Structure 1
Amino acid sequence: MNALLAVARYEFRMQARKRSLWIAATLLGGALIVLQGDRGPRSLPMGTPAREVMGTWALLFAILMPLAYGMLLADRLVRDRKLRVEPLLESLPHAPATRLAGKYLGGVAACALPGLAALLLAAITELPTRHDPALIGWALVAFLVVTLPGIAMVAGFALVCPVIVSVPLFRVLFVGYWFWGNLLTPEFLPSLTGTLLTPIGDYGATWLLANDHTALFAGTPGFLPFLRPDPSAATAALSAVVVVLCGLIPLAAAALVAHRNARQTWPSKA
């Protein structure tokens, strides 16, 4: 446990200090604020409940900001090989799975900072006009049910997949997947948009918006209907759990492979 926390703490401090993380998140978040249109949070009438206001903000930021997190984490494990520090790390007493889990937790925590900061800043800017202190509390709730699960899923794939397909190819595929699997409605092309598997967090946002079907993709009819239940508090929680578990799948596979490799090479090292 101490080794896990040490790796996670180091990874968090390293990633959180990167200017590229904050610059990319600021640019994407700022573009969304400027281009939000008449369905964005700025267009919500006065008197709109705080949970709906912050749910709309959370969904708005979730449209593009996770792209920054995926791009940033894509070269994390590959960089260890390029810098030739991987053999040194493998010689440490803790297991490869511990090292991988620490990198994942630290990366998720670091990428969560811009997401949380964006929601809190949005709540603070809404306070002078809406005069509702509950905006701060609902910003934290929206972060937990909309923002954080998506970051957890993106981080899992962004850490592991580039080792297999290369960093540039992963980034291209990731951008294509993001728009296909989160923003493309099934009426144009079969996609995962509107399912429990979408890391954009539309099921959680739909719960915050009191099941306002006009604002979100959650439950949109399409293929794989069993993954498109009607939005509710239960399905919002289920979607968050499923999205996080999806992000853990590549980590579990990578940890298993690393464990097998370590067992095979141990006799020769001995």
Structure 2
Amino acid sequence: MTALLAVARYELRMQARKRSLWISAALLGGVLVLLQGDRGPRSLPAGTPPREVMATWALLFSILMPLAYGMLLADRLVRDRKLRVEPLLESLPHAPVTRLAGKYLGGIAACGLPGLAALLVAATVEFTYRHDPGLFIWALVAFALVTFPGIAMVAGFALVCPIIVSAPLFRVLFVGYWFWGNMLAPGLLPSLTGTLLTPIGDYTVTWLLGNNGPALFAGNPGWLTFLRPDPSGATAAASVAVIILCGLIPLAVAALASHRQARATWPAHEARSTATV
């Protein structure tokens, strides 16, 4: 546990110091604020409950800001191989699984900082004319229920997949997936948009809005209908759980592969040690 926390702390400090994280997140967030349209949080009338205000802000920021997180984390493990520090890291006493889990937790925490900051800034701006301190509480709730699960899912794939397909190719595929799986217009192609697997958090937002939120069932409504149940508190919780679980799947696969590789190489190391003795 100590090694896990040490790796996560190091990863958090290193990633949080990167200007590219804050600049890219600020640019994407700023574009969303300027181009939010009539359905954005700026158009909400006075007297709107703070829960609905901050849920709408969380959904707005979740549309594009996770792209910055995926781009940033895509070269995290690949860089260790390029710099040839991976053998040195493998010689440390903690297991490779611990190092991978620490990088994952640290990466989530680092990427969560600009997401949380964006919601708190939005709550501060809204407070200047709504005068409701509940905005700050609901900003934290919206971050936990809407923003965080998407970051957890993006981080899992962004750390592991570039090892298989290379970081540049992953970034291209990730951008394509993001628009196909989150914002594809109805009737064009079968899509994961509007399902429990959608990491922008529209199921949770719709529940926070009293089931009167944005259109959930975009994409092809006749495809994967079992993943498009009616929005409710239960389906919102299921969506959060499924999204986080999806982010853990590539980590589990990578951990299993690392464990098998270690077991395969262990007899050879043991044989060399015996021969030396």
- Helix, strand or coil for the counterpart of 1:37? coil
Summarize the Cα distance change of 1:117–1:218 in structure 2 as closer, same or farther, 3 Å threshold.
farther
TM-score (norm 1): 0.97
Paired position in structure 2 for 1:21: 21
Alignment of 1:69-84 (within 5 A): 69-84=69-84
**Is the contact between residue 11 and residue 107 of structure 1 (CA under 8 Å) also seen in structure 2?**
yes
TM-score (norm 2): 0.95
Cα distance in 1 for residues equivalent to 2:150 and 2:232: 18
Alignment deviations for residues 219-244 of structure 1 (CA, whole Å, 9 cap, x no partner): 87331011001111111111000000
Q: Does 1:62 align with 2:62?
A: yes
Cα distance in 2 for residues equivalent to 1:193 and 1:93: 43
Cα distance in 2 for residues equivalent to 1:119 and 1:179: 22
Alignment deviations for residues 27-85 of structure 1 (CA, whole Å, 9 cap, x no partner): 00000000001110000000111000000000000000000000000000000000000
Paired position in structure 2 for 1:217: 216
Alignment deviations for residues 124-175 of structure 1 (CA, whole Å, 9 cap, x no partner): 0000111111000000000011000000000000000000000110000000
Paired position in structure 2 for 1:123: 123
**Is the contact between residue 195 and residue 228 of structure 1 (CA under 8 Å) also seen in structure 2?**
yes
Alignment of 1:8-47 (within 5 A): 8-47=8-47
**Is the contact between residue 70 and residue 158 of structure 2 (CA under 8 Å) also seen in structure 1?**
yes
4+ aligned runs moved over 4 Å, structure 1:
none
Q: Where in structure 2 are there 5+ consecutive unaligned residues? A: 271-277
Summarize the Cα distance change of 1:95–1:218 in structure 2 as closer, same or farther, 3 Å threshold.
farther
- Helix, strand or coil for the counterpart of 2:223? coil
Paired position in structure 2 for 1:154: 154
Aligned length: 269
Cα distance in 2 for residues equivalent to 1:210 and 1:152: 25
- Helix, strand or coil for the counterpart of 1:178? helix
CA RMSD of aligned residues (A): 1.1
Q: Give the letter for the 1:203 counterpart.
A: Y
Cα distance in 1 for residues equivalent to 2:146 and 2:159: 21
- Helix, strand or coil for the counterpart of 1:39? coil
**Is the contact between residue 146 and residue 204 of structure 1 (CA under 8 Å) also seen in structure 2?**
yes
Alignment of 1:92-107 (within 5 A): 92-107=92-107
Alignment of 1:113-262 (within 5 A): 113-213=113-213, 215-217=214-216, 221-262=221-262
